Amino acid sequence: MSKSKLYVNPYTVLGLERTATAADIKRAYFRLVREYPPERDPENFKRIRASYERLRDPEQREDADMRLLNTWPGPGRKLRSPTADLTLHREDIIAAARGMTDLERKDWREYYKKVKG
């Protein structure tokens, strides 16, 4: 098998759920080895053996479980790109006038200079 192939789920190869115990894994392995012996079906036997080796060791099983975490689902529908509203609205003119003038300023004292007379 080449390393460029996608990660194979060892639980599906052995026909197990992720909650399977070590005894269930062993039973499934020996059942599949009897069904697909290495003399008759070497490719299936290699997949079965690799999956069993991955699930037999607790550290490798933990690694396999981490690789099988569900990915975040994409959006259910295709999102449209937002369209810009380029029309000039009354609210836009008022907001621009308020921003460019001092009409909204409430305290003029800080800007007032006393004239010496």
The model's confidence at residue 116, banded by pLDDT at 50, 70 and 90, is low
Among 12-26, 41-55, 86-100, name the one with the lowest average pLDDT: 86-100
Q: Buried b / exposed e across 27-60, counting CB within 10 Å, b at 16+?
A: ebbeebeeebeeeeeeebbebbeebbebbeeeee
More confident site: 25 or 109:
25
How confident is the prediction for the chain on average, in pLDDT?
82
Q: Rounded to the nearest 5°, which phi and psi values hold at 59? A: -70, -45
